[in-house]
Amino acid sequence: MKQIFLLLTLGASVLFSADVVAVGDRYQDSASCKACHMRIVTEWEESWHAKSHYNNDEYFQKSIDYVSRKTRKSLNSIKVECATCHNPRISVTSTGMDYEIDAVMGLDKGSAVNRAVNNDAISEGINCVVCHNIDKIHAEYDDTKRGINRVEWTPSGTMTGPFKDAKSPYHKTIHHEFMDKNPNQLCFVCHANDRSKKGLVFSNMQDEYKGGKNCVECHMGPKRKDVAATYKMYDGKAKIRNVRNHGFAGAHVESMWKDALSLALKQQKSNLMITIKNSQPHNIPSGFGSRELLVEVSYKSGSKIIDTQTISLTTLYTRKKGEKPTIPHLATAQSKDMSIPAAGKKVLKVKKFDGASSVEVKIYYRLVNDEVRTLLDLKDNLWSKKYFITEASLKLK
């Protein structure tokens, strides 16, 4: 029965295969880059780009396991699909019916797919030879083509960068404007158009993006004077340049959240009006669809708290067969978008608690809401941690 279901499922699917450009052994491992780029590699090692592989991220791993179970497709097939953005230098970019049959029969151990997903060359996730080997970004492609399907690669041993005069004794170097003047184009190769297997677009940071800021200004920090490479190629010296941090700070970095939103309170008769403003160039929450804002309201009589309530601003996802809860990647429908829009605001109307003389409101951020955290059985405290954003208080009449 399982085999019949599998054949029907595969028969209805359309598979895409991107061009693969092999990376020589000399350039696959970021450790090889440390000789000249020690600071950059050390910063990258602490980033979530370095953890984008199946073995290194609990949320990613359990999401893949969940999708595999619910779709009855092999684990390796789902890994290959997700590698589009998580491991774009993978040597196999699609699977088909023949592989699925082999996987069901346990005959896939020596297959090209099995070798590809277990190859040490992709164990570092988004490493140096992902971003710095992109030769062309096809912005003209339709939104369904992302990650590996949206780019062309340089030949092995050719690195792209932001400096026109860069040179190295170890590799060829070329300059592209998406590394310098238009870095958002590079970020949006993957950080855009998150789409479920059923075609539901549950997040699209590129469409929601507003303002003149580039992604790197926040997520790689301000430029500072330092060396990009320590090799002394410029009159016997390493060249001092304007460089950014390669830690790619994101939603998991607590300092990113301090005052990321602003908060104003106003009493309107028997109601409390909570205005949350977002000066950032993208929605909050944004990115993966299960992220959440928590608005905690505490009513006081004098100094004593007499009532509390928590408002969750998140999106919930469902699939067919009884509208069962699911994770974003399998959703056919979603609840109303409760995020604070880019360069915009949201006003919450809350009934004032009788007898309260004052109110205090605090806003927190969580990486994963309760529903998805339960569905995936996430264990690490990281996923339930609350990141403080801002607070405000108001005397009530």
Q: Which domains does the chain have, with CATH numbers?
A: 2-243 (no CATH), 254-395 (2.60.40.10)
Q: Please list, residue by residue across 333-344, b when 16 or more beta carbons sit within 10 angstroms of its beta carbon and e when fewer do.
A: ebeeebbbbbbe
- To the nearest whole number, what is the mean pLDDT of the chain? 92
Helices (H), 72-214: 75-86, 97-105, 112-117, 128-131, 183-187, 205-208
Q: Say yes or no to pLDDT of 3 above 90.
A: no
Percent of all residues in the chain with a pLDDT value above 70, rounded to a whole number: 95
pTM given for the model:
0.91
Q: What is the mean pLDDT of residues 147-171?
A: 94
Per-residue confidence (pLDDT) for residue 289, from 0 to 100: 85
Residue 386: pLDDT band by 50, 70, 90 thresholds? very high
Three-state SS for 276? strand
Q: Which two tokens stand for residue 370?
A: 């309760």
Q: What is the pLDDT of residues 87-106, one digit of tens each?
A: 999 999 999 899 999 998 89
Question: Is pLDDT of 383 > 90?
Answer: yes
| Strands 172-175 and 158-161, bridge-based pairing | parallel
Mean pLDDT over 101-124 rounds to: 92
Residue 110 burial (C-beta neighbours within 10 Å; 0-12, 13-18, 19+): exposed
Average pLDDT, stretch 2-11? 39
pLDDT class of 374 with cuts at 50, 70, 90? very high
- Give the mean model confidence (pLDDT) for residues 223-234: 92
Per-residue model confidence (pLDDT) at position 16 = 47
Of 153, 158, 122, the C-alpha closest to 137 is 153
pLDDT digit string, tens, across residues 8-50: 344 333 344 577 888 998 999 999 999 999 999 999 999 999 9
pLDDT at 17 (0 to 100) = 56
Look at residue 14 in the predicted model and tell me its pLDDT.
37
320 falls in which pLDDT band (50, 70, 90)?
Answer: confident
pLDDT at 4 over 50: no
The amino acid at residue 386 is: K
Q: Give the least confident one: 7-11, 222-226, 350-354, 373-377.
A: 7-11
Of the candidates 338, 367, 205, 340, which has an alpha carbon nearest to the alpha carbon of residue 284? 340
HSE-up of residue 373 (Cα within 13 Å, Cβ side): 15
Neighbours of 65 (CB within 10 A): 15
Above pLDDT 90, what percent of the chain?
81
pLDDT confidence tier of residue 231, bands split at 50, 70 and 90: confident
